Amino acid sequence: MGRTQARGRSGRRRGAPDTRGEILAAARAEFGERGYDGATMRGIARAAAVDPALVHHYFGTKEKLFLAAMEIPFDPVIISERIADTTSTMGIGERAIRTFLGVWGDPVGRAPILAMLRSAMRHEAAATLLRQFITRVVLGRVLVAFESMPDGALRAEAMVSHLVGLAIVRYVVKLEPIASVSDEELIALVAPVLQRYFDGGLPPSPG
């Protein structure tokens, strides 16, 4: 066999196919599924039914493609503001888990974060990226709700860490029954627990 699906003739294809977009979509999927190192240029090219060199033609290097794939697909600002929105009648626990499920429920929104998460498992650099992402984009907004209380940062991070764990157990490891349970059921279970990080009593002073 040749090296790609669309093999044979070289040159421009008929019509006006959004090849660049297809590559980007394939890249998002592959990066999300396998992480930075796990995904390969060739694999992405194959998924996009395109010659590997074309991927380089459009995006230059793998790293640039990765960065391009991490862009756009959801607006983290809106998201984190929804979490911090104090006008809502919901507790911050429920707002957090609802927002979380909203983002992770959509495969398109899930892919880039999954990619960052998977990559952070192996690259110190990616871990740093994820750390900054959490700190600036997520925590930065959540923190305003916690800022007036002692150990605010710690509590906020504990809350976020639970969400991170949920993401992994539910979407990566796919542990049953938690992977298949409905959103509402999960919210009912988790929201009050998360909420406790916000209005729970101060820890019985350690030491």
Partner DNA sequence: CGGCAGATTCACCGAATGGTGAATTGCCGG
Partner DNA sequence: CCGGCAATTCACCATTCGGTGAATCTGCCG
H, E, C per residue of 35-56:
HHHHCCHHHHHHHCCCCHHHHH
**In the complex with its own copies, which residue's Cβ is closer, 44 or 50?**
44
Q: Is the peptide bond before 177 cis (omega within 30 degrees of 0)?
A: yes
**In the complex with its own copies, which residue's Cβ is closer, 51 or 98?**
98
Query: DSSP string covering 52-111, please?
Result: HHHHHHHHSSHHHHHHHHHSSSS-HHHHHHHHH-TTSSS-HHHHHHHHHHHHHHSHHHHH
Helix (H) or strand (E) holding 162: helix 152-167
**In the complex with DNA, which residue's Cβ is closer, 19 or 135?**
19
**In the complex with its own copies, which residue's Cβ is closer, 67 or 172?**
172
Contacted by 136, from DNA, its own copies, none: CB < 5 to 8 Å by type: none
Whether the Cβ atoms of residue 23 and residue 59 lie closer than 8 Å to each other: yes
Q: How far is the CB of 43 from its own copies (least distance, A)?
A: 13
Contacted by 175, from its own copies, DNA, none: CB < 5 to 8 Å by type: its own copies
Q: List residues binding its own copies (CB under 8 A).
A: 34-35, 37-38, 117-118, 120-122, 127, 130-131, 134-135, 151, 153-155, 157-158, 160-170, 172-175, 177-178, 181-182, 184-185, 188-190, 192-193, 196-197, 200-201, 203-204, 206-207
